[in-house]
Amino acid sequence: MPPPLATLVIPAYREGLRLPPLLTTLVEEAVAAPSPPLEVVVVDDGSGPTERDREQEAVRAAQEALRRAGAPHQIRFVAAPANRGKGAAIRLGWAGADAASEWLGFLDADGAVSAREAWRLVRMLPALSDVDVLAGTRILMAGRSIQRSLVRHLQGRVFATLVERAFGLGFYDTQCGLKVVRASRLRPLLPRLTEDRWLLDLEVLVLLARAGARMREVPIDWADPGGSKVTPGLDALRMAMGLWRMRRRLDRA
């Protein structure tokens, strides 16, 4: 197998139902068109045995389909010892990524960002010489489709406003579940990452921006698949409090 251009981590917690179709379409997209070699690492974040086994079987089936197609990609499974959160699962996957990967990223397991959109961004990577971060963004514009409730949209815009006031990143959407970062930029920062849950996206972007990384947002198609693990109101409050704590911690660093 050729060395992967990128490693894409998929954090999965109780995703025995939504992960298999995502992996199936990732494989279908991979063999449908020429694609740079990709390593996909599914990290189970302490699910119960039934969900974990479903996820692992989906990974096995996807890898077998790639083998039969002769595709230069690899999908593998890692099980975290306990549930710690999305951010912790992503960090675990990055820590064990192929050392040859030139890019490290993640993709949410819920399918809100489709396999087609994930591959669209991955296929952009070989031509990027002036970008260190390629981030999907949920912005409704010509040629793009965003399907989510008004409540989630408004909650997201309030949080984005708080983020901009706290850090001045100039980002429209720091929390979209698809990002890829140049490994040479990200690997030195891995020991400094501490966020275990939803704020890992923001922590990575803030540290990279302060290190002078060149970042680009790419509008993508996004559709709320339902079954969100986010509790409206309560999780918004938690994220706002986490944002305040992060700013204090990073400003002291």
| Residue 26, pLDDT above cutoff 80 | yes
Alpha carbon distance, N-terminus to C-terminus of the chain? 41
Residue 121: predicted pLDDT: 96
Per-residue pLDDT, 167: 93
User: How far, in Å, CA of 2 to CA of 203, rounded?
Assistant: 32
Indicate if the pLDDT at residue 235 is higher than 70.
Answer: no
Q: How confident is the model at residue 92 (pLDDT cuts 50, 70, 90)?
A: very high
**Contact between residue 224 and residue 152 where contact means Cβ atoms under 8 Å apart:** yes
Report which of 92, 83, 104, 88 is spatially closest to residue 38, judged by C-alpha positions: 104
> What's the mean pLDDT in 131-145?
87
pLDDT top residue among 149 and 32: 32
Mean pLDDT (the chain) is 92
Find, among 172, 173, 166, the residue nearest to 251 by Cα.
166
pTM of the model: 0.92
- How much is the pLDDT for 236? 67
Interstrand relation of 74-79 and 38-44 (parallel, antiparallel or unpaired): parallel
Q: Residue 229's pLDDT is what?
A: 54
pLDDT at residue 231 tops 60: no
pLDDT of residue 242: 85
Report pLDDT for 198. Answer: 87
Q: Flag whether pLDDT at 207 surpasses 90.
A: yes
pLDDT category at 28 given cuts 50, 70, 90 is very high
Domains and CATH numbers, the chain: 6-252 (3.90.550.10)
Q: Is the pLDDT of residue 142 over 80?
A: no
Task: Taking residues 73-85, report their average pLDDT.
Answer: 97
Burial 133-155 (b: 16+ CB within 10 A, else e): bbbbbbeeeeeeebebeeeeeeb
pLDDT of residue 176: 92
Q: Which residue has the higher pLDDT, 253 or 206?
A: 206
Q: What is the DSSP letter of 25?
A: H
Q: Indicate the SS3 state at residue 10.
A: strand
Q: How far is CA 125 from CA 40, 96, 160, 224, in A?
A: 16, 21, 26, 26
| 10 contacts 43 by C-beta, under 8 angstroms | yes
- Residue 232: band (very low, low, confident or very high) from pLDDT cuts 50, 70, 90: low
Q: Is the pLDDT of residue 117 over 60?
A: yes
Nearest to 180 by CA among 1, 2, 5: 5
For the chain, what percent of residues have pLDDT higher than 90? 74
